[in-house]
Amino acid sequence: MTERRSLSTMQRLRVFEQSGGRCHICERLIRAGERWEAEHRIPLALGGADDASNMAPAHVVCHSQKTKTDNASWTKAKRVKAKSIGIKKPPSFRKPDGVRFDWKLRRYVPEKESVR
C-alpha cells in the first residue's frame, strides 16, 4: 500500500482555496466550522498521485460514502489486473496433509485407512 503523506496547514488551505471552498463530491459550499477532509480525486489505489494537485476538499460524510462505494471498484480493478498478468487467486481451502477424500464415505480419511 502507498504511504500517505500528511498535509501541512498551508497545504490544506491551498487545497481549500483552489476549489473555491466547495466539496468536490456534492459541490456545496463548506461553511465555517464544518468538518472536511482533503480527499484524493483519483484514488491512490487506482494510480493517483499523493500530492496537492490530486486533492480536493470534501465533507467528512461525503468522503466516507464515496469511499464505501469506491471500495468495490478498487478491489475489482486489482482482481482484473492480477488476472491479466497471470496471478491466480489462492485457494480458500487446502487439504490437510496425510488425508484423502473418500467419495463413498463423503469425508476425509487418513491415507492408511482402507475403505470397508
- Domain with residue 16: its CATH number is 3.40.1800
Residue 54 lies in a domain: yes
Instruction: Give phi and psi for 37, each to the nearest 5.
Output: -130, 150
To the nearest whole number, what is the mean pLDDT of the chain? 86
Reply yes or no on whether the pLDDT at 113 is more than 70. Answer: no
Residue 58 lies in a domain: yes
* Nearest to 45, CA basis, from 18, 79, 15: 79
Range of the domain at 47: 9-84
Q: Please give the pLDDT value at position 77.
A: 83
Residue 37 lies in a domain: yes
* Nearest to 70, CA basis, from 39, 96, 101: 39
Range 15-39 average pLDDT: 93
Range 55-64 average pLDDT: 94
Give the total number of structural domains in the chain.
1
Q: Please give the pLDDT value at position 2.
A: 52
Task: Tell me the whole-structure pTM to 2 decimals.
Answer: 0.61
- Say if CB 35 and CB 60 are below 8 A apart: yes
